[in-house]
């Protein structure tokens, strides 16, 4: 497993496509990945200050990973309200992935996302991609649970993962530091809401109430994806 299959995701403003990035498109990420404003919450994972060579190396790392699935996040402005956005250039604006995949009694992956273009933040692109990725991992591949770790100050990440049903299960204090502020790693999990996966995950244990509520959010995300994600 290296890159995931092409998925077209309906979005009101953009044609959003999750697809393997082209190696020669990776330098499109360099500008964003060299800005601390973009990388302050991911610097420990990706570093900061990219050159085109770093971008291409990242492509090679993703491509050769045996325990991960990654997609490039591609967007194209829908100039005339049509879903085709024909004529507009497609931009590679980020990467979303599922890594550290375990294939034991349960199948679990850790997910992450990065959109390097601040002009695109807050416009629902990550939320749409999270729904598509969650749907692919749960409904298509049958993963049991997903994990995500984000820094406590990263409100956008917190809201985006909560929306699809991730729940905080832990906190590792002092994972990072930025401009005088301690950054704590928030550890979250999202459980596949299907009856079979749910029963396998929780066994005889009482299910924490926050996971019961989150199950409905995940179900809603998967239902949305059934209608709005086209798996090519």
Ligand X SMILES: CC(C)(COP(=O)(O)OP(=O)(O)OC[C@H]1O[C@@H](n2cnc3c(N)ncnc32)[C@H](O)[C@@H]1OP(=O)(O)O)[C@@H](O)C(=O)NCCC(=O)NCCS
Least Å distance, CB 93 to ligand X, is 9
Between the alpha carbon of residue 200 and those of residues 14, 223, 224, the distances in Å are 38, 22, 25
Between the alpha carbon of residue 131 and those of residues 25, 99, 122, 179, 207, the distances in Å are 24, 17, 16, 33, 23
Q: Scanning residues 165 to 224, which ones bind ligand X (CB under 6 A)?
A: none
Least Å distance, CB 157 to ligand X, is 4
Alpha-carbon distance 26 to 135, whole Å? 26
Alpha-carbon distance 47 to 33, whole Å? 8
Asked if 50 interacts with ligand X (CB under 6 A), we say no
Asked if 29 interacts with ligand X (CB under 6 A), we say no
Q: Which of 18, 26, 109, 114 binds ligand X (CB under 6 A)?
A: 114
Q: Which of 14, 136, 143, 150 binds ligand X (CB under 6 A)?
A: 150
Asked if 34 interacts with ligand X (CB under 6 A), we say no
How far is it between the farthest Cα atoms of the chain? 55
Span of 34-42, 165-173, 184-192, 210-218 interacting with ligand X by CB under 6 A: 34-42
Asked if 44 interacts with ligand X (CB under 6 A), we say no
**171 or 207: CB nearest ligand X:** 171
Tokens of 67: 């325990």
Asked if 156 interacts with ligand X (CB under 6 A), we say yes
The Cα angle at residue 160 between residues 82 and 205, in degrees rounded to 5: 130
Residues linked to residue 181 through DSSP beta bridges, in sequence order: 178
Binding site residues, ligand X, CB under 6 A:
38, 41-42, 112-115, 121-127, 150, 154-157, 159-160, 163
């Amino acid at each position: 497993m290296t890159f995931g299959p092409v998925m077209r995701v309906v979005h009101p403003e953009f044609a959003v496509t999750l697809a393997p990035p082209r190696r020669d498109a990776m330098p499109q990420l360099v500008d964003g990945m060299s800005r601390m404003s973009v990388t302050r919450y991911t610097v420990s994972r990706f570093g900061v200050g990219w050159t085109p060579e770093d971008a291409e190396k990242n492509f090679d790392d993703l491509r050769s990973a045996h325990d991960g699935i990654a997609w490039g996040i591609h967007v194209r402005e829908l100039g005339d309200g049509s879903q085709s956005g024909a004529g507009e250039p497609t931009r590679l604006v980020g990467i979303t992935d599922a890594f550290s995949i375990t294939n034991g009694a349960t199948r679990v992956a850790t997910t992450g996302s990065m959109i390097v273009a601040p002009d695109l933040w807050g416009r629902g692109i990550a939320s749409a991609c999270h729904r598509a990725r969650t749907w692919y991992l749960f409904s298509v591949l049958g993963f049991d649970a997903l994990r995500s770790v984000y820094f406590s100050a990263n409100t956008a990440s917190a809201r985006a993962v909560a929306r699809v049903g991730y729940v905080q299960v832990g906190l590792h204090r002092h994972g990072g530091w930025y401009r005088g502020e301690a950054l704590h790693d928030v550890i979250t999990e999202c459980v596949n809401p299907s009856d079979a996966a749910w029963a396998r995950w929780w066994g005889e244990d009482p299910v924490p109430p926050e996971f019961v509520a989150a199950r409905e959010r995940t179900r809603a995300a998967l239902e949305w994806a059934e209608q709005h994600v086209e798996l090519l």
